[in-house]
Chains A and B, each alone.
Chain A
Amino acid sequence: MNEWDSFLAYNIIEMWLAYPFVMTVVGGAISGIPKEIIEASIVDGAGVFSRTTKVVLPLIMRTVAFVAVLTSGASLQAFLIPFVLNDGGPMKIFAGKLISSNDLLLLYGYHRFMRDYEWGYAAAFYLIVVMILSVYVYIWFKFVFQRGGK
């Protein structure tokens, strides 16, 4: 199996998992749009396409951004799917180490810890991961939480 195949499979499965959440939240936002706005745009002669892009989308943009940040954050922490599916895909040598070709962020440290028994290396690696996740948390806090997109 090609390494990109399993990467694609992870993406599809993550999308499948995120779908209900996105559907519920965005669907709720769309049904929250007042009917008068839609009717006014019809009266003003907007077609289906321009009604979608110029009226509905701007109104739900904040929700879409909120969902995008949350979903990308969840996928940044993807661990279970690659681990369960094929344990990171076929092995290859990278930078002098034998690693799985699809070691995602968290899985890489886990493999260094469980396969190579390099516990100190894994701990140091996870410290960096915590810093990366802190950047995500900062973005989430700044743009989602404080703006009241909850």
Chain B
Amino acid sequence: MATLKLYLLKLFLTAVAFSITATLLYPVVYIFLTAFSRLPTLSLDISYFTIENFVSVINDADFRNSLILSSLVSGATVFLALLFITPAAYAFSRFRFRGKSTALYSYLIFSQVSGGFGVASLVALFVFLGKLNLVSIYVLPFLYVSGMVPFNTWLLKNYFDNIPRELDEAAFVDGSSWWTLIFRVILPSSKAPILVLAIFAFMGAWSEFILANLFGFRTLPVLMYKYVGAYTTYWNMFAATAILYAIPIIIMYMTAQRFIGEAVRMGVKG
């Protein structure tokens, strides 16, 4: 009797887990199968299998322009994020200065409501940049980086806190300069969180939609949005574009999964 009950329970739990996983993966499977379909509708039908969608998407000039634009913006964002956030995090971790805790707490708060405050500041940003005639592709990476500063500074600061201060002191005792300390001691020992920071910055810029759409830059997400909003939507093309768009992020996650886990664990523990 007891065994039967246990068996039924296990069956039930497995069914629940299976249905939850299926629900979660359903949209992904759907878009994946649609990308290989010859029909321009959303379908789970695999009898019209083809890879022509991918070929025609890659041959599409619009797609290639958007791809280049997105790559340039994301690359610039990664560079700027590393340039601005790493020294700031090190300073927050090691030095004492006026307004340090105020700055840290406001960063903390902004990292919680960045989405809401970000959209709220769009009005001011749009008017400001429009009136000053500053709307160009070059401002986009700066805007993205400014949105990433709060969260990533905390992440990196917590990691630097865990690097013992004695390391710095030992380096100074051995007669190293600031330059040597930063580039030979601190940065090599914090490769993992810096890699994670670069990946987060890349993913943030790669998938940012609201600002790019507002200013009318055709990065990849905006291009896909335009596909859906068009008069007739070729869903198989859309799905193929979506998969090509997701590939860099998937590859990054898979290669850096170990580092992401480590950095987030060390960063969150504090």
Contact = CB atoms under 8 A, between A and B. Distances in A.
Interface of A: 16, 19-20, 48, 73-74, 76-77, 79-80, 83-84, 105-106, 109-110, 113, 119, 122-123, 126, 129-130, 133, 136-137, 140-141, 145, 150
Contacts of A105: 116
Contacts of A129: 116, 120
Interface of B: 9, 23-24, 27, 108-109, 112-113, 115-117, 119-124, 126-127, 209-210, 225, 268, 270
Top 6 nearest A-B pairs by Cβ distance?
Answer: A77-B116, A126-B120, A77-B115, A106-B119, A133-B113, A133-B116
Contacts, number: 63
9 contacts: A16-B24, A20-B24, A73-B113, A79-B119, A79-B210, A106-B115, A119-B123, A130-B117, A133-B113
B24 A77 contact: no
Contacts of A123: 123-124
A80 B209 contact: yes
B112 A73 contact: yes
A76 B123 contact: no
Contacts of A119: 123, 127
A144 B210 CA distance: 29
A126 B112 contact: no
A51 B162 CA distance: 38
A109 B113 contact: no
B117 A133 contact: yes
B211 to A, nearest CB: 12
A81 to B, nearest CB: 11
Contacts of A74: 115
A122 B123 CA distance: 7
Nearest to A19: B24
